[in-house]
Amino acid sequence: MTQIYTAAHLGDKPVIIDINGLNKWYDQFHVLKDISLQVRQGERVVVCGPSGSGKSTLIRTINRLEEHQEGTIEVNGTILNNDVKHIEQIRREVGMVFQQFNLFPHMTILDNVISGPVHVRNMARKDAIDIAYTYLKRVGIAEQANKFPGQLSGGQQQRVAIARALAMQPEVMLFDEPTSALDPEMIKEVLDVMRELAEQGMTMICVTHEMGFAREVADTMVFMDRGQIVEYAPVKEFFAAPKEERSRMFLEQIL
Residue 122 sits in the site that holds ligand ADP (CB under 6 A)? no
Q: Judged by CB under 6 A, which of 10, 19, 40, 57 binds ligand ADP?
A: 57
DSSP conformational letter for 10: G
Partner whose binding site includes residue 104, from Mg ion, ligand ADP, none (CB under 5 to 8 Å by kind): none
**What b/e string do you get for 8-36 counting C-beta neighbours within 10 Å, with b at 16 or more?**
eebeeeebbbbbbebebeeeeebbbbbbb
Partner whose binding site includes residue 51, from ligand ADP, Mg ion, none (CB under 5 to 8 Å by kind): ligand ADP
Residue 56 sits in the site that holds Mg ion (CB under 5 A)? yes
If the CB atoms of residues 99 and 134 are measured against ligand ADP, the closer one turns out to be: 99
Pairing of strands 220-225, 228-234: antiparallel
Number of residues that bind ligand ADP (CB under 6 A): 11
Least separation, in Å, of the C-beta of 71 and Mg ion? Answer: 20
- Largest Cα separation within the chain, whole Å, is 55
Residue 55 sits in the site that holds ligand ADP (CB under 6 A)? yes
The SS3 of residue 155 is helix
Residue 56 sits in the site that holds ligand ADP (CB under 6 A)? yes
Residue 105 sits in the site that holds ligand ADP (CB under 6 A)? no
Phi, psi of 180 (to 5 degrees): -70, -25
Q: Residues in the chain, how many?
A: 255
The SS3 of residue 73 is strand
Residue 57 sits in the site that holds Mg ion (CB under 5 A)? no
> Footprint of ligand ADP on this chain (CB under 6 A)?
26, 29, 31, 49, 51-57
